[in-house]
Each structure stands twice: as C-alpha cells, then as structure tokens.
Chain A
Amino acid sequence: MIEVKNIEKSFGDSKVLKGVSTVFETGKTNLIIGQSGSGKTVLLKTLLGIHTPDSGTIEFDGRVYSDLDKDEKRDLRTEIGMVFQGSALFDSMTVEENVAFPLKMFTNNNKAQIKERVDFVLERVNLIDAHKKLPSEISGGMQKRVAIARAIVNNPKYLFCDEPNSGLDPNTSTLIDNLIQEITKEYNITTVINTHDMNSVMEIGENIVFLKKGLKAWQGTKEEIFTTDNEAVVKFVYSSNLFKKVREAYLKG
C-alpha cells in the first residue's frame, strides 16, 4: 500500500500539486486521471522519487520515503517496476537483454536462472519470438509488453505505469490493460496507472483518483464513476457522446 499525505510540489512560481492525499491499495489497479496539466505526471514522478515534494510524505507500506537515506531509497526502488509512456527500453539491448537487466543488476542469479526467468515473463506477456530483436525492430504494442515484462521480472511490490495505452490501437490497448490487471492480482502488487484513456477507467479502474488543478477532486471505483454527481468528474469522463451513452445505459440498468 502506498499512502500519500498532503503532497505539495511547485516548479518556480507554478504550484502543480496543492496538497494531495490518497491511498493506493495493494492488489488493486489504482488509476490517476485528470485533464492535461492537472498534476498527474508530477504526482507519479513524485511517487517514483524522480521529483522531491516540497512538503508532505509518501509511505511505502509504512516506510516514509523522505526519512530513508540514499542507499535505502535505492533499495526501495529495486522493489518498484515502472512502465514508461515511451516504454524507455534500452535501445542498444535486445528484448531479452532489456528484460534480464534488473536481474543482472540486482540478483546473484546465474545465467541459466536469468534465462529461465526471462523466458517465463516474456511468455507471460505473450512475447515468445522476440527475444533477439532490438526495440526498434518491434511494434509499439510489443515494446509496451517488453516494458511490462522488464517491470515485473524482479517481482516488484509496486508497479507504476505512465500512460500505458498511449499510441496503441484499441485492441492492443485492451490487451495491455487486462495484462496489467492480471499481473496485479497474480502477484498482489500495488499498481498505480496514470492514464487519459477512458476505456482503461471503465475496464480496470478499481481505485480511481481524479485530479483537478493539483488537488484530488474525487476518488472512487469504476462502478462509482457511473453514479457520481461530481461535476468535474462527469464533465471530464463523459466529454464524449459514446461515454455519455454508456453512462445512460448503465444508469437505466
């Protein structure tokens, strides 16, 4: 579980996070949604330790991040898996080298054990024939799956995904969403996803945090998002006619 308490973050005169408090639960797909500029990415990067908050605390299962020393922070990060928006695969390495990277860096496994684990996770994300290919030789959807495989190869306790569906077709997008949800349940991970994609919200939103202008404006589940009367959420989620109709159908039963 990740507990965020009153996080504030400014860049120069611009205050991006204005006191966000929330809880991201273990074994659930936690989604951060909101308009562009609402502070989603800054919140995610603050959770990851890429940005340091001006005030407030972040607790990873009771460990207050700001109280940890440099080495303890690095050790905590070995428990984190991250799927970046652009996948962030190492372009000089093959698919299997990318996935094996955290194992080579942080475990004492021998070559055979590393290969076995890499084969297992690549199979888990339905990538069987891409081991020797470079990231530039595979599609965007496959790159995302490699990024997921790399993120989970070291059995992380926390999985962060930044816009995992961006640039993907609806079919691949759904596959990626389902894969993330399955992995979250299977390994009992605390998963936090930053997304714009309303399909993802409807599909896998078990705990949705809606940010508006740097503040948490609403929190609930995908079922509750249909019934909420929070004006900001309704305006944001149901901005398209398709989702308006989905909501109307849901409310009619």
Chain B
Amino acid sequence: MLIRYLSQIGKYFLMLKEIFNKQTKWPVMKNLILKEIDDLIIDSLGIVCFISFFIGGVVAIQTALNLTNPLIPKYLIGFATRQSVVLEFAPTFISVIMAGKMGSYITSSIGTMRVTEQIDALEVMGVNSVNYLVFPKIIALLMYPFVIGISMFLGIFGGWMACAYGGFSTGADFIMGAQKDFIPFHITYAFIKTLIFAMLLATIPSFHGYYMKGGALEVGKASTTSFVWTSVCIILFNYILTQLLLG
C-alpha cells in the first residue's frame, strides 16, 4: 500500500516535469489558456460570490451571538469576521469547494479524453499531451488569487450586511472592527497560500484524469478520488504554510 502511494507520488512529480517539456506552439496555447480562464475562473465566480457573501454573514452572526459579555466591544464582530474570512475562509475553504467544482471538471474532462482515445490521438500525432492539457490550466489558475480577493471582499461585505441589517451592531462599529489591528502580512500570507492551492487545484485533478484507466464509471470514480486527494493536500499544505509563515 505504502509503495503504491509512493509510486503514485513519484508519477505525479514526473508528470509535473513533463508539463514543461516540449511546449505547444504559442498561438495554439494562447487560445487554450483563454478557454481555461473562461472555464475555470470566470465560470467559478458565481458560486464563489454566492458562498462568500452568505458565509461572511453567518460568521458575523455567529460571532455576535457568542459575544454575550457586555464588556466586550461590538466592533469585535467586524474584527473576527475579517480575520476569519481573510485568513481561512476565503483562501482555504473556497479552495476546498473549488477542489469539488474545478477539480471534478478537470478530472472528468481529461478522463473522458483518455477513455475516448483523444489523449492517445494527441500522443500519436507527436503532441506533448501533458503540456497541451495541463499547462494552460496552471497558467489560467494564476488568476485564482483574483477570485479569492473577490471572495474576501464579499465575505466581509456579507458580514457587514448581516450585522448592520440584522441589528447585531452598527455598520460603523463593524467597519471600525474590520480596520482594527490590521496586519498587511496576513493578506500576503493568504495570497501565498492561494497560489500554492491553485497549483494543487490544477495539477492533482489533472493527474487523476490523465492516468485513469477504464470507462465511464471509472471517470466518475477518478473525479471523486481527485476531490478527496486535492482536499487532503490543501488541508495539509494549509497547516504547513501556516506554521511556516505565521508560526
């Protein structure tokens, strides 16, 4: 079992190396990158905005409901919402959700190409199929921090709306809290994490799709496995990066 895992990890790193061998011609690659930006980034904005806004609101309400001590200032709601959203919710939990959304899309699309011999067709033509399929996804996901930036803004905005219109505190208190003791490095930390997660989101589902064997049923299984492993890796890297950057 351990040997199988180690062999899979080795295969994954060999695939990463292969991505940068024999590049696809730029005019073709340019179109692939634009298509991937549309499929992976633009198409994810709707769900990210929706989740961020409402989870930000829930974080604010939960914080407000737990601040029962009258000595604790109300602006703490804004402070806690900002810290939760910027440090963890936007970069990590949106990435786990994206492991399901983008990850299953990537695995199933590449897996279907494997099943229907389209990847064999690329290889037989002399195309570096790993570069052709995975490299545009990596470049497209360099835009992933923008998605997380939007998520951060909407999360805090959702918290403000919930607080101000739910009667938990005034809008001014929330904004004061959101600005209190702001450490700019926290944003840097969040975006460093986001970029690492973007690489995991592009490559782990691609790996599971590219090396899958079997038919339509196995495409579904590969999507599930890819979601599990991408999530596990995101959570592990989250821990390691937090320890390294903030510990």
Chain A residues in the interface with B (C-beta under 8 A): 48-50, 70-71, 74-78, 80, 82, 84-86, 88-91, 101-102, 104-106, 160
Whether B126 lies near A75 (C-beta < 8 A) is: yes
B125 interfacial contact with A, CB 8 Å: yes
Residue of A nearest to B132 (CB): A105
Cβ < 8 Å to A, chain B residues 90-123: 116-118, 120-121, 123
Given contacts A49-B124, A50-B124, 20 further A-B contacts (CB under 8 A): A50-B120, A50-B123, A70-B21, A74-B22, A74-B128, A77-B123, A78-B126, A80-B124, A80-B126, A82-B124, A88-B116, A88-B118, A88-B120, A88-B121, A101-B125, A104-B25, A104-B28, A105-B25, A105-B28, A105-B126
B70 interfacial contact with A, CB 8 Å: no
| A89–B116 CA distance with the chains assembled, in angstroms | 9
A80 partner residues in chain B, CB cutoff 8 A: 124-126
**CB contact under 8 A between A77 and B125, given known A104-B27, A105-B25, A105-B28:** yes
Size of the chain B interface, CB-CB below 8 angstroms: 17
Fill in one digit per residue for B147-188: 1 if any A CB lies within 8 Å of its CB, else 0: 000000000000000000000000000000000000000000
Other-chain contact of B125, A50, A78, A91 (Cβ < 8 Å) = A78
Residue of A nearest to B128 (CB): A74
Other-chain contact of A86, B28, B117, B124, B127 (Cβ < 8 Å) = B117
Taking the closest CB of chain A, its distance from the CB of B120, in whole angstroms, is 6
Whether B117 lies near A102 (C-beta < 8 A) is: no
| A48–B125 CA distance with the chains assembled, in angstroms | 10
Residue of A nearest to B119 (CB): A88
Taking the closest CB of chain B, its distance from the CB of A232, in whole angstroms, is 30
Q: What are 30 A-B pairs at a CB distance below 8 A?
A: A48-B124, A49-B124, A70-B21, A71-B22, A74-B126, A75-B126, A76-B126, A77-B124, A77-B126, A80-B126, A82-B124, A82-B125, A84-B117, A84-B120, A84-B121, A85-B117, A86-B117, A88-B116, A88-B118, A88-B120, A88-B121, A89-B118, A90-B118, A91-B116, A101-B125, A104-B25, A104-B28, A105-B25, A105-B125, A160-B124
A78 partner residues in chain B, CB cutoff 8 A: 125-126
The number of residue pairs between A and B whose CB atoms lie closer than 8 Å in the complex comes to: 55
Fill in one digit per residue for B116-145: 1 if any A CB lies within 8 Å of its CB, else 0: 111011011111100000000000000000
B225 interfacial contact with A, CB 8 Å: no
| A13–B61 CA distance with the chains assembled, in angstroms | 63
| A88–B125 CA distance with the chains assembled, in angstroms | 12
Taking the closest CB of chain B, its distance from the CB of A40, in whole angstroms, is 16
A105 partner residues in chain B, CB cutoff 8 A: 24-25, 28, 125-127
B127 partner residues in chain A, CB cutoff 8 A: 105
Taking the closest CB of chain A, its distance from the CB of B69, in whole angstroms, is 58
Residue of A nearest to B27 (CB): A104
| A160–B124 CA distance with the chains assembled, in angstroms | 10
B124 partner residues in chain A, CB cutoff 8 A: 48-50, 77, 80, 82, 160
B121 partner residues in chain A, CB cutoff 8 A: 82, 84, 88, 90
Which 10 A-B pairs have CB atoms at the shortest separation, nearest pair first?
A77-B126, A88-B117, A88-B121, A78-B126, A74-B126, A82-B124, A84-B117, A88-B118, A48-B124, A104-B28
B21 partner residues in chain A, CB cutoff 8 A: 70
B117 partner residues in chain A, CB cutoff 8 A: 84-86, 88
Residue of B nearest to A73 (CB): B126
| A89–B121 CA distance with the chains assembled, in angstroms | 8
